[in-house]
């Protein structure tokens, strides 16, 4: 069966964003360091329309995490904006041709008509919770896997509900000392983890876990 996959960059002390996020530093103080390993990769730059970049042990990890996906789920903050759409009918961070090239389901408290973008990305706004988002994503994915793109709150909701099949942590060798922890708010989840693949790469260690319960 198609898997629900969580791929997320995390500091060695467990944060997926640093403290004190602002408009200039949306990932919080030091948070950008979590993604340096990815941003320098050709395998990341190419689908984002950028030239150049390096090829290293992280390249196949990145390619693999993008392969076999039929839909993506993300939180409202990751899509962009806050509050009701009437007040701020913004189309999010992702520009006219978002890098997803697949159906994206955005968890939000505010109803909104789907947003069709160039290159195959359609944002569908889901107001009735994670299980509904997953059901719609499964239907849209046509048998392919589904990615949880983040952020931490959405990841925690899916982990707590025991719905995540596979989790890959991209562990950056930094201590942020504060911010958003991935493994918070998981009371009662009782997840059983098995490490199924480890890749050491420049500036990051990739740890992949199968999740049972």
* Least distance CB 125 / a second copy (angstroms): 31
Site for a second copy in 47-106 (CB under 8 A): none
Helices (H), the chain: 36-39, 42-45, 57-66, 76-79, 130-141, 152-160
Judged by beta carbon, residue 110 or residue 183, the one nearer a second copy is 183
Judged by beta carbon, residue 132 or residue 185, the one nearer a second copy is 185
Judged by beta carbon, residue 19 or residue 99, the one nearer a second copy is 19
For 157, list phi and psi in degrees, rounded to 5. -60, -45
Judged by beta carbon, residue 2 or residue 171, the one nearer a second copy is 171
* Least distance CB 26 / a second copy (angstroms): 23
E strand or H helix that includes residue 147: strand 145-150
Query: Cβ(131)–Cβ(161) under 8 Å?
Result: yes
Binding string, residues 161-200; x marks residues near a second copy by CB under 8 A: --------x-x-xxx-x-----x--xx-x-x-xxx-xx-x
3-class DSSP state of 169: strand
Using CB under 8 A as the binding rule, whether residue 212 contacts a second copy is answered as no
The strands making up 103-107's β-sheet, listed across from edge to edge, are 115-116, 122-126, 103-107, 69-75, 145-150, 4-11, 166-172, 204-212, 192-201
User: Which residues lie near a second copy (CB under 8 A)?
Assistant: 12-14, 169, 171, 173-175, 177, 183, 186-187, 189, 191, 193-195, 197-198, 200, 205, 207, 209
């Amino acid at each position: 069966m198609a898997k629900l996959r969580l791929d997320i960059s995390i500091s060695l002390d467990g944060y997926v964003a640093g403290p004190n996020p602002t408009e200039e530093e949306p990932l919080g103080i030091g948070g950008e360091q979590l993604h340096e390993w990815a941003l320098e990769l050709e395998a990341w730059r190419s689908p984002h329309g950028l030239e150049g970049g390096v090829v290293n042990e992280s390249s196949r990890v990145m390619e693999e995490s993008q392969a076999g996906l039929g839909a993506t789920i993300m939180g409202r903050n990751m899509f962009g904006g806050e509050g009701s759409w009437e007040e701020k009918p913004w189309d999010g961070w992702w520009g006219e041709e978002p890098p997803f090239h697949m159906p994206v389901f955005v968890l939000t408290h505010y109803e909104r008509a789907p947003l069709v973008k160039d290159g195959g990305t359609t944002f569908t706004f889901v107001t009735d919770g994670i299980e509904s988002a997953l059901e719609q994503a499964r239907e849209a994915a046509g048998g392919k896997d589904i990615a949880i793109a983040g952020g931490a709150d959405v990841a925690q909701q899916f982990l707590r509900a025991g719905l995540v099949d596979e989790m890959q942590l991209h562990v950056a060798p930094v201590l942020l000392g504060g911010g958003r922890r991935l493994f918070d708010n998981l009371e009662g989840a009782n997840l059983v983890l098995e490490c199924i693949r480890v890749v050491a790469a420049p500036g990051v260690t990739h740890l992949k876990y199968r999740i049972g319960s």
